[in-house]
Structure 1
Amino acid sequence: MPLEEGVLELFIIGFSVVMGIAIAALLLLWLRKKNNNAAYAWTVLHFLFLGVAVYFLIKAISFDYEHVMASEENSFQLGVAGVIWFFSMVCLVMGIFKFSNSGKSMR
């Protein structure tokens, strides 16, 4: 898909900064709390899968227009990004469940 010049770079930089801050905050909390390792691990997996999904999304929106099978490759990249994003959301939900279970046992 055609984008204005510089938009893709801004998207990559913005996503990287936000993901870096989120991962750093998560790891900092994990190091400070030292409990509920499973919940933190599921959340880290979520961030990793999400990063990979965005990588495939970027590949899909920045394809070569002159390529003969550009449409097919674009569709495939979007499909891969969607499947990986699904696994990312599963990991996030598992992490949320683990965090909510840990709160009940502390009372």
Structure 2
Amino acid sequence: METHVSHERTVRGVKELAKSIGTNGLVAGQAMDLSGEGLDQNDAGVEELEFIHVHKTGSLLEASAVTRVVIGGGLEKEVEKIRRLATCIGLLFQVVEIENLLWI
């Protein structure tokens, strides 16, 4: 089965992926994460942890989900709903991961 995706959707999908790993996405989260290396984990504030998780895990999940909606021809309101949902899932994933590490 062959399907055609418009150039416009393809370019928009690639832009979403690039944004997710760029200086406002994964790179920003990784930079913040690395700047805290060697610090006691208790010294990190909630805002810093949220920033790291939203910009690392959240941005990659967001890109994966949003790119699919964009390429599939989703409306802008659908894209934004999926964007928010993916960010929340990324945060939830990190909270569960941290919780699991605390109880090991």
> What TM-score bracket applies, with the shorter chain setting the length?
0.3 to 0.5
Taking structure 1 as the reference length, what is the TM-score of the superposition?
0.46
Taking structure 2 as the reference length, what is the TM-score of the superposition?
0.47
Structure label with greater radius of gyration: 1
Which structure features the higher share of helix residues? 1
